[in-house]
Structure 1
Amino acid sequence: MPSHGAKRKAQTGRSATGGSVPSAVASLASGPGSDPLRQPHPFHEEAERHGIVLREFYPPEMSNARARTYQAGEIPRPIEQLDAALQDTLRERENVQVKDAVVHWFKTDLRTADNHALSCASQKAREAGVTLITMYLVSPQDLEAHVVAPVRVDFVLRSLRILRDDLAKLDIPLYVETVEERRQIPARIAELMESWGASHLYANMEYEVDELRREAKLVRMLAEKGMCMEIIHDTCVVPPGQLRTGAGKQYAVYTPWFRSWMAHLRKEPGLLELGEPPVRNPESARRTFGHVFDSEIPVAVSNKTLADEDAVRLRALWPAGEHEAKKRLDAFCKQRIGHYDRKRNFPAEAATSSLSVHLASGTLSARTAVRTARDRSAGGEGTQTWISEVAWRDFYKHVLVNWPYICMNKPFKPEYSNITWSYDEAHFAAWCEGRTGYPIVDAAMRQLQDMGWMHNRCRMIVASFLSKDLLIDWRMGERFFMEHLIDGDFASNNGGWGFSASVGVDPQPYFRIFNPRLQSEKFDKDGDYIRKWVPELRGIKSSAIHEPYARGAGALAKKNGYPEPVVDHSAARERALTAYKEGIESGL
């Protein structure tokens, strides 16, 4: 549940808003206690009052000093804790004998094709002549703590039903269960494995903090019970930790990282080899584990349910499952990838792949996307540009692994948490609802509300507008996106907001502030995108559509109920520059 501050904000917008997206803050963390590095500076109390931290699940915002200890490597990173658990239990795990079944745990990898952990589990079961069981655990508390959008939950549940049917054709059961208490997931997995007589558990690695710490705990717990858990790198084309600068550090800038990423793939072509699909289970599987085949997939999760009319519209827009992902990928490579570099920034064009939802939920692997684009498209700049866009997903996960405090409500640059943000509820509601008086901003926000998705160029425009023109805490926008996006992914969403709010890894200085009018004129010159999503302005045929009140179309806009701009961009720009400068120089 949102904190008190977030609940209060929900009254001014269309949904609960007001916090950050702590998709991976340590769920087992205690309060700040007496450790001075855990004490947030009083400067952050305003953000706390406005629900930036989900206090039902997480401690207060950490101090900048503690964030810097992560930067310096003085605190073990969660992935290091997981690596230690795997290393410490290696001998015990190697000595575990296969029993009655092998289990694969689906998480954000809802596919049978090119799924590394599933392939390994299937091979292990086949070699031992035992049954492969797959499972998926629904955690309402995780969905709440990670601020997952109802539209994404619905997509996942629909994908699970398709996945279950595909597996059933191979006599492989998909067991689905709802675990109400998120802390009970490790213990429940151990109980299920014992009840099935399973000794081996396979899962693909998730790189957020909560998940890494949970898996470290589970590896040790199962080892103590004489069981083995194997965790496989699968989400990223190049696993985190394999790309280093000449000084041996993690890249913090995309361009040199991408050059290293491409060079690494040329050096290690096996990273683009696709995993084998699972093989059919033994004939005894249905006799022995018939009760596992009978588990039901919920139609909805109580705290993440779509309204009926929204469900009909969104399900038509976003068919679920890996077959749809493959269909879209093939169509994109055949029809649009060749001009992707030239048209991808124009939201009125049908020029993008619309595959982000499948990459986020794992109905398509990034490996398959890159491999297919390389092998089946016509090549050229369009293909290279699209592959570089897929690579951004790897980059942001690499950043997350090395600087895990970004999952803990902190910006990549801790000093940027000292900016005096605005928490103007009326301005935030206007932004959420698409009534800022800036047509390109309002069109984009209305697209998000209607489709559960927004064009990437527009994501940058509206994020810059919230954090720079309105000077509202970027974490409120970050959370709002996660609450509404069908393709919501913590690392990519956080990275995008970091770019637009100038608090992330992007090397450009804070005084890069998008002018929404210029962005509108450049990327929606004829106003087609605006007219589609802002019906009040459809009667404006000239360039006045980009700023009707400043170009002689104010009377028509006002008559149709379109608002005047909530702020003056020039004045807002100067205010933002001053606030950023003072915050950075505060030395806190």
Structure 2
Amino acid sequence: LRALPAPRAQTPPPWPADPLPAAFEGFDAPAEPVRALWPAGEHAASERLDAFADGVIDAYQEERDFPSLPATSCLSPYLAAGVLSPGQALRAALTANHGEVEGGKRGAATWINELLWREFYQHLLAAYPVLSMHQPMKPETAAVPWRDAPEDLYAWQQGQTGIPIVDAAMRQLLALGWMHNRLRMVTAMFLSKNLLIDWRLGEAWFMAQLVDGDLAANNGGWQWSASTGADAVPYFRIFNPLSQSRKFDPDGVFLREWLPELAHLDSRAIHDPSPMERAAAGYPLPIVDLAQSRLRALEAFSGLPPA
């Protein structure tokens, strides 16, 4: 790799820009507190990249899966909008890692690997346009007997499934237009496996909510979780959301932030409150039995025709 000279400033065009409308029909601008989370422009993107590469990246490998920690770069909106290029991000990571891609600092090497996953999905979409046509990468998975369950889908969308970690993550998405990456996998797998609802409905919901919505990355993540995509998780590897919650939010810090009705519960009970605790807090019972729904998903996928 070699550094390229900075591009010369372009001559300002001789005509004025079109005026920006105050509003767009059918589109509500987010509230100011949310807009403040994602300041626009190259300068903001560069500042965020520099702050991450100068220190946070060192602990990325150890802390990236814990949603209550500020351990991720939060650069995805800038990458999705083209404000920041993958090359700029890679260069910053390589600088932090003394030019090494796989060795050196574990945090930097892991983050570089995540950048490569993003580029992998971009190349997949270019090579297989069928992915933009609501089709699975693995043709045989088109035969999965997805459930038509609009009430369950709505409960998932609104963070009312009765599974605390899923609900907290979905409420974070609604409030911020962003969700922690670990929780994107947890919520996607819960929808496509435990609820056995078509992953494409979840993909569309995420795309409509995410400030970092990117067709290739979003599709790739959903097809990975639903076991329908390239190099996807095996269908029999189904995350248990309660185990994920206890492992990556052991003290319930993230849960308390997004589920205030459960904030008074101790660090053990908050992951799976008792029926009495749920009733007192006005929090719903689980809409699905995790063990039984896991078996249902295994049966649905194991019965597919061979590839």
**2:97–2:109 Cα contact (<8 Å) kept:** no
In structure 2, do the counterparts of structure 1 residues 303 and 507 end up closer, same or farther at CA, with 3 Å as the change threshold?
closer
Residue 447 in 1 paired to residue 177 in 2? no
Q: Pick one of 557, 560, 583 that aligns with 2:278.
A: 557
In structure 2, do the counterparts of structure 1 residues 383 and 571 end up closer, same or farther at CA, with 3 Å as the change threshold?
same
In structure 2, C-alpha distance between the alignment counterparts of 1:434 and 1:448, rounded to whole Å: 9
Counterpart for residue 141 of structure 2: 416
1:341-352 aligned at under 5 Å gives the runs: 341-352=61-72
Greater Rg over alpha carbons, structure: 1
After superposition, what is the alpha-carbon deviation per residue over 1:273-309, rounded to whole angstroms, capped at 9, x for unaligned? 447334342xxx66xx2xx224223343323233xxx
Counterpart for residue 6 of structure 2: 276
In structure 1, C-alpha distance between the alignment counterparts of 2:49 and 2:9, rounded to whole Å: 25
**1:340–1:385 Cα contact (<8 Å) kept:** yes
After superposition, what is the alpha-carbon deviation per residue over 1:500-528, rounded to whole angstroms, capped at 9, x for unaligned? 10001125421111111111111111111
Counterpart for residue 198 of structure 2: 473
1:312-327 aligned at under 5 Å gives the runs: 312-327=32-47
TM-score using structure 1 length: 0.50
**1:337–1:377 Cα contact (<8 Å) kept:** no
In structure 1, C-alpha distance between the alignment counterparts of 2:5 and 2:88, rounded to whole Å: 10
Counterpart for residue 579 of structure 1: 300
Counterpart for residue 365 of structure 1: 85
Q: Pick one of 6, 9, 26 that aligns with 1:303.
A: 26
In structure 2, C-alpha distance between the alignment counterparts of 1:296 and 1:275, rounded to whole Å: 33
For the aligned residue pairs, the C-alpha RMSD in angstroms reads: 1.7
Counterpart for residue 500 of structure 1: 225
Counterpart for residue 528 of structure 1: 253
In structure 2, C-alpha distance between the alignment counterparts of 1:497 and 1:341, rounded to whole Å: 23
| 1:374 to partner: Cα distance | 1.3
Residue 569 in 1 paired to residue 270 in 2? no
Secondary structure at the aligned position of 1:570 is classed as: helix
**1:340–1:351 Cα contact (<8 Å) kept:** yes
Q: Pick one of 60, 67, 73 that aligns with 1:353.
A: 73
Identity of aligned residues (%): 48
**2:81–2:212 Cα contact (<8 Å) kept:** yes
After superposition, what is the alpha-carbon deviation per residue over 1:430-457, rounded to whole angstroms, capped at 9, x for unaligned? 1001011110000000000000000000
After superposition, what is the alpha-carbon deviation per residue over 1:41-90, rounded to whole angstroms, capped at 9, x for unaligned? xxxxxxxxxxxxxxxxxxxxxxxxxxxxxxxxxxxxxxxxxxxxxxxxxx
Secondary structure at the aligned position of 1:429 is classed as: helix
Secondary structure at the aligned position of 1:504 is classed as: coil
| 1:586 to partner: Cα distance | 8.1
Q: Pick one of 185, 189, 214 that aligns with 1:460.
A: 185
Question: Match of 2:213, as an amino acid?
Answer: G
Secondary structure at the aligned position of 2:230 is classed as: coil
In structure 2, do the counterparts of structure 1 residues 395 and 275 end up closer, same or farther at CA, with 3 Å as the change threshold?
farther
| 1:387 to partner: Cα distance | 1.0
In structure 2, do the counterparts of structure 1 residues 507 and 487 end up closer, same or farther at CA, with 3 Å as the change threshold?
closer
**1:463–1:500 Cα contact (<8 Å) kept:** yes
In structure 1, C-alpha distance between the alignment counterparts of 2:91 and 2:10, rounded to whole Å: 26
In structure 1, C-alpha distance between the alignment counterparts of 2:148 and 2:232, rounded to whole Å: 27
Residue 293 in 1 paired to residue 53 in 2? no
**1:338–1:377 Cα contact (<8 Å) kept:** no
In structure 2, C-alpha distance between the alignment counterparts of 1:499 and 1:527, rounded to whole Å: 27
Displaced runs of 4 or more, over 6 A? none
In structure 2, C-alpha distance between the alignment counterparts of 1:298 and 1:380, rounded to whole Å: 47
In structure 2, C-alpha distance between the alignment counterparts of 1:415 and 1:345, rounded to whole Å: 32
Counterpart for residue 193 of structure 1: none
After superposition, what is the alpha-carbon deviation per residue over 1:169-191, rounded to whole angstroms, capped at 9, x for unaligned? xxxxxxxxxxxxxxxxxxxxxxx
| 1:325 to partner: Cα distance | 0.3
Secondary structure at the aligned position of 2:67 is classed as: coil
After superposition, what is the alpha-carbon deviation per residue over 1:152-180, rounded to whole angstroms, capped at 9, x for unaligned? xxxxxxxxxxxxxxxxxxxxxxxxxxxxx
TM-score using structure 2 length: 0.94
Question: Match of 1:359, as an amino acid?
Answer: L
| 1:571 to partner: Cα distance | 0.5
Secondary structure at the aligned position of 1:567 is classed as: coil
1:12-411 aligned at under 5 Å gives the runs: 269=1, 273-274=3-4, 276-281=6-11, 289=14, 292-306=15-29, 310-376=30-96, 380-411=105-136
Question: Match of 1:279, as an amino acid?
Answer: A
**1:536–1:557 Cα contact (<8 Å) kept:** no
Counterpart for residue 202 of structure 1: none
In structure 2, C-alpha distance between the alignment counterparts of 1:586 and 1:394, rounded to whole Å: 29
Counterpart for residue 15 of structure 1: none
In structure 1, C-alpha distance between the alignment counterparts of 2:131 and 2:5, rounded to whole Å: 31
In structure 2, C-alpha distance between the alignment counterparts of 1:332 and 1:496, rounded to whole Å: 23
Pick the structure with more strand per residue: 1
In structure 1, C-alpha distance between the alignment counterparts of 2:306 and 2:93, rounded to whole Å: 48
Q: Which residues of structure 1 form unaligned runs of 5+?
A: 1-268
In structure 2, do the counterparts of structure 1 residues 274 and 451 end up closer, same or farther at CA, with 3 Å as the change threshold?
farther
In structure 1, C-alpha distance between the alignment counterparts of 2:21 and 2:108, rounded to whole Å: 39
In structure 1, C-alpha distance between the alignment counterparts of 2:214 and 2:137, rounded to whole Å: 17
1:537-552 aligned at under 5 Å gives the runs: 537-549=262-274
In structure 2, C-alpha distance between the alignment counterparts of 1:535 and 1:342, rounded to whole Å: 28
| 1:558 to partner: Cα distance | 1.4
In structure 2, C-alpha distance between the alignment counterparts of 1:311 and 1:377, rounded to whole Å: 38
In structure 1, C-alpha distance between the alignment counterparts of 2:298 and 2:197, rounded to whole Å: 13
**1:334–1:377 Cα contact (<8 Å) kept:** no
Secondary structure at the aligned position of 1:302 is classed as: coil
After superposition, what is the alpha-carbon deviation per residue over 1:219-271, rounded to whole angstroms, capped at 9, x for unaligned? xxxxxxxxxxxxxxxxxxxxxxxxxxxxxxxxxxxxxxxxxxxxxxxxxx35x
How many residues were matched structurally?
302
In structure 1, C-alpha distance between the alignment counterparts of 2:224 and 2:119, rounded to whole Å: 16
